[in-house]
Amino acid sequence: MKRIAALVFVSLGIFSAVNVFAQDSKYGDNPVECKKYISFYTDYYKQNDYDRALPNWRQAYSFCPATASSNLFLHGQNLLRHELDSKKLTNIEREGIIDTLMLLFDQRSAAYPKTRLAQMNRKGLDAAKYLPSESQKMVVYKQVIDINGSDTDPQVIFFYMLGTLDYYKDGKVDPEKVITAYDSMMALLEEAGKNNAAAMAALEPGSKDYDKNLKSAVKDSTAISNTKNDVENLFIASRVASCENLVELFTPRYEADPDNIELIEKIVGMLNNADDCNKNDLYFATATKLYQMKPSYTAAYSLFRLNAGRDNVNEAIKYIEEAIAFEESDAEKDARMYYDLARYCSANNRDSKAIAAANSVIRLESDMETKTYTGKAYQLIGRTWAGFHCGGNEIERVAKYWIAVDYLQRARSFDPEIADECGRAIAAYSAQFPLAVDAANYDIINGQSYTVSCGGMSASTTVRTRL
């Protein structure tokens, strides 16, 4: 019996030792020190005493393996961010802390794969904030994008595109690489949008955490949409893509999928902002198709530009007037398009239509705080009047200059940027005013009210003569 009891005791002892070993194995070769410093730093961390928590966390990090706790990485990241944000550090100290912070993301991702997507995205955001050089940041952005794909945080994609454009400005990459990067980033964002929409559609009302998940999905949808717009605006503003490059990029894609409305919208949007594309066949084909598939003021405006570039005057005027007629085009957009119409008509000898469009600009902006085109519209009307060929007597032939000067004086009062230009024109036109003695021969005197009829137009003014 004693022997049996002894064997049972030994067996229990071995079993207990195995359990202790199993429990402590995750804490590494020195579990006592590992658990001690985890306890020390955690107590300070919970009290928000980060200055005391950090040295103890460093000890825990040195003794503990990755298996000890996922919080070891999470808390360490927070402690290191606090150090970077709140302390005056030397460059060497700062560099060391940033290196450790970046390493923690990789280590946590490897040890806890379920956190990988979130860890990589946060690594990209912290890289944007803390890494000192653009080249270091770009390495991290690329790593995050390669790993996360369409699950990459939209901000990281934006930062990567911004860095790529900065490289282009510095001559470090050529236009083709920028266009390729743009195309790739937009494809990721489009895929992310589709995945998010599918996830949102799969949510079941009334299910657990439905409201929370729906709110998160809506937030993600907004972030993706905003980033797509921001990346596109960056790309367009950079002027990196010539018409030729864009046509080369998009022609095979359009030919492969000619009814893809999203692709067509993208092509039209890109070519609409590229220089020297108004006579391009791809632009004309996609803009025409877009207007047929999805009529809008932007599509109509694109067709105005395209037909104007091909000298199709009547078609150009037709499309911009249709663009203005769309309800989605607000007063500010209408004012801009009316000014474009006025300039186009003026350049194509449609003077009465040019003046009517310019007057529409003035009328629309009369209720706006910012009058972007009012001065220019007055200037256009003044110059149009000055260009009329008027018949009649020697007074009737030059009376048009009174009207021209009237409008130019209003123009410079609204727009300081054109004041000097208007002033020179006023001086030139005033030199054409009739002599007082010649006006007197027709019983016309200085300061008298006078109605001018010329070029199919009529306007009232005040007589001004030269001595």
Q: How far apart are CA 255 and CA 252, in angstroms?
A: 5
C-alpha dihedral, 294 to 295 to 296 to 299, nearest 10°: 80
Residue carrying the six token digits 């790739």: 184
Q: How far apart are CA 400 and CA 390, in angstroms?
A: 8
Neighbours of 44 (CB within 10 A): 18
**Residue 449: phi, psi to the nearest 5?**
-70, 145
Write out the chain's pLDDT in tens, 467 residues. 333 333 332 333 322 333 333 445 789 899 999 999 999 999 999 999 999 999 999 999 999 999 899 999 999 999 999 999 999 999 999 999 999 999 999 999 999 999 999 999 999 999 999 999 999 999 999 999 999 999 999 999 999 999 999 999 999 998 888 988 998 999 999 999 999 999 999 988 988 888 899 999 999 999 999 999 999 888 878 878 788 888 888 898 899 999 999 889 888 887 877 778 888 899 999 999 999 999 998 889 989 989 998 999 999 999 999 999 999 889 999 999 999 999 999 999 999 999 999 999 999 999 999 999 999 999 999 999 999 999 999 999 999 999 999 999 999 999 999 999 999 999 999 999 999 999 999 999 999 999 999 988 999 999 999 98
Angle at 64 between CA 58 and CA 65, to 5 degrees: 125
Please count the residues of the chain. 467
Tell me the two tokens of residue 11: 């067996």
Q: Which residue, 279, 300, 289, is CA-closest to 255?
A: 289
Find the farthest-apart pair of alpha carbons in the chain and give their distance in angstroms, rounded: 149
C-alpha dihedral, 127 to 128 to 133 to 139, nearest 10°: 60
Contact 437, 466 (CB under 8 A): no
Contact 452, 402 (CB under 8 A): yes
What pLDDT is recorded for position 20? Answer: 37
What pLDDT is recorded for position 450? Answer: 97
Strand partners, 451: 460
Strand partners, 459: 452
Q: What per-residue string of b and e applies to 174-197 under the rule 16 or more CB within 10 Å gives b?
A: eeeebbebbeebbebbbebbeebe
Tell me the two tokens of residue 114: 């379920």
What pLDDT is recorded for position 24? Answer: 54
Contact 60, 37 (CB under 8 A): yes
Q: How far apart are CA 423 and CA 412, in angstroms?
A: 8
Helix/strand number for the chain, H first, E second: 21, 2
Tell me the two tokens of residue 15: 């079993």
**Dihedral angle sign, alpha carbons of residues 341, 342, 346, 350:** positive
Tell me the two tokens of residue 447: 């300061």
What pLDDT is recorded for position 16? Answer: 32
Strand partners, 460: 451
Q: Three-state SS for 85?
A: helix
Query: Tens digits of per-residue pLDDT, 261-284?
Result: 988 988 888 787 777 888 889 999
DSSP one-letter string for 442-467: TT--TT-EEEEEETTEEEEEE---B-
Contact 53, 79 (CB under 8 A): yes
Neighbours of 392 (CB within 10 A): 11
* pTM of structure: 0.58
List the domain boundaries for the chain. Answer: 358-467
Q: Three-state SS for 435?
A: strand
Q: How far apart are CA 415 and CA 378, in angstroms?
A: 10
Q: Which residue, 378, 394, 361, 347, is CA-closest to 459?
A: 378
Contact 413, 426 (CB under 8 A): no
Q: Three-state SS for 328?
A: coil
Contact 111, 66 (CB under 8 A): yes
